[in-house]
Structure 1
Amino acid sequence: MIRVSNVSTLAELLARAGELKAVSDSPELDLQLLLCSVLDKPRSYLYTWPERSLSFEQQQQFEQLLQRRLDGEPIAHILGQGDFWTLTLEVNSSTLIPRPETELLVELALAMGEQLDQHKVRVADLGTGTGAIALALASEQPRWQISAVEFNPQAAVLAERNRQRLKLNNVEVLQGSWCEPLCGSFDLIISNPPYIDAEDPHLSQGDVRFEPSSALVAAQQGLADILTITEQALDRLKPGGWLMFEHGFEQGEPVREILRRAGYQQVETHRDLAGHERATVGQFPPTGEPNTGDA
Structure 2
Amino acid sequence: MTALTIRQIKQQSQQWVNASINSAIPPFWLTDWLLYVIHKPSIFLMTNDDYQLTEAEYQQFSAGVTKMQQGIPLAYLTGKQEFWSLDFKVNEHTLIPRPDTEILVEQVLNWINEQEKSRSITKQEDAVTSKRLLDLGTGSGCIAISLAHELTQGSTGNTKANVAKNSWQVVAVDVSVKALEVARHNTTVNNITNIEFIQSSWYSELSTDCERLFDVIVSNPPYIDEADEHLARLIAEPISALSAPNQGLADIEHIVQQAPRYLRVGGLLAIEHGFDQGAAVRQLFLDNGFNAVHTVQDFGGNDRVTLGQI
Same fold (TM over 0.5): yes
Distance 1:33 1:14 in 2: 12
TM-score normalised by structure 2 residue count: 0.85
Which one of 109, 122, 138 corresponds to residue 132 of structure 2? 122
1:9 and 2:5 aligned: yes
Counterpart for residue 209 of structure 1: 235
Q: Do the aligned partners of 1:194 and 1:218 also contact (CA within 8 Å) in 2?
A: yes
Is residue 20 of structure 1 aligned with residue 20 of structure 2? no
1:179 Cα deviation from its structure 2 partner: 2.1
Stretch of structure 1 that moved more, 131-140 or 39-48: 39-48
Q: Is 2:203 the counterpart of 1:193? A: no
List gaps (5 residues or longer) in structure 1: 285-295
Residue 16 of structure 1 aligns to a residue in which SS?
Answer: helix
SS in 2 for 1:8: coil
Contact persistence 2:173–2:202 (CA under 8 A): yes
Q: In 1, distance between residues paired with 2:63 and 2:184?
A: 30
Counterparts of 1:68-79 in structure 2 under 5 Å? 68-79=67-78
Matches within 5 A, 1:164-175: 164-175=188-199
The residue aligned with 2:61 is 62
Q: C-alpha displacement at 1:45, in angstroms? A: 2.1
| Equivalent position amino acid for 1:55 in 2 | T
Q: How does 1:23-34 map to 2 (within 5 A)?
A: 23=20, 27-34=26-33
Pick from 250, 257, 266 the counterpart of residue 231 of structure 1.
257
Query: Which of 171, 191, 213 in structure 2 is aligned with 1:147?
Result: 171
Q: Which moved more, 1:122-131 or 1:16-25?
A: 16-25
Report if aligned partners of 1:17, 1:27 keep a CA contact under 8 Å in 2: no
Unaligned stretches of 5+ residues in structure 2: 118-128, 153-166
Percent identity of the aligned residues?
40
Deviates more, 1:137-146 or 1:196-205: 137-146
> Retained in 2: the 8 A contact 1:148–1:172?
yes
1:233 partner amino acid? A
Give the drift of 1:22.
5.3
> Which residue pairs with 1:244 in the alignment?
270
Indicate how the Cα distance of structure 1 residues 257 and 181 shifts in structure 2: closer, same or farther if over 3 A, else same.
same
Deviations 1:96-137 (A, max 9, x none): 111111111001011001033497332111001000101111
- In structure 2, relative to structure 1, the CA distance for the partners of 1:26 and 1:114 (3 Å cut) is farther
- Distance in 1, matches of 2:262 and 2:228, equals 32
Deviation readout 1:144-167 (Å, 9 max, x if unpaired):
321111111110111111111111
TM-score, length basis structure 1: 0.89
> Counterparts of 1:233 and 1:25 in 2: how far apart (Å)?
40
Contact residue 171 and residue 196 of structure 2 kept, 8 A: yes
Partner residue in 2 for 1:160 = 184
Cα displacement (A) at 1:277 = 0.4
Letter in 2 for 1:189: I
Cα distance in structure 2, aligned partners of 1:185 and 1:15 = 58
Q: Which amino acid aligns with 2:254?
A: T
- Structure 1 position 26, deviation (Å): 6.1
* Native 8 Å contact 1:14 1:28 kept in 2: no
**What SS does the aligned partner of 1:259 have?**
helix
Does 125-134 or 214-223 show the bigger shift? Answer: 214-223
The number of residues matched between the two structures is 278
Which moved further from structure 2: 126-135 or 229-238? Answer: 229-238
Matched-pair contact (CA < 8 Å) for 1:268–1:280: yes
The structural deviation recorded for 1:16 is: 2.6
Cα separation, 1, equivalents of 2:220 and 2:18: 29
Look up the equivalent residue of 2:17 and give its one-letter code. L
CA RMSD of aligned residues (A): 1.7
The residue that corresponds to 1:178 in the other structure is 202
Contact conserved, 1:246 with 1:278, CA < 8 A, in 2? yes
- 1:42 Cα shift? 2.1
Determine the C-alpha separation between the residues in 1 that align with 2:84 and 2:12: 29
Find the aligned partners of 2:283 and 2:70 in 1 and give their Cα distance: 41
Change (3 A) 1:238 1:78: same
Q: Take 1:78 and 1:200, find their aligned partners in 2: how far apart are those partners? A: 26
Give the drift of 1:217.
Answer: 1.3
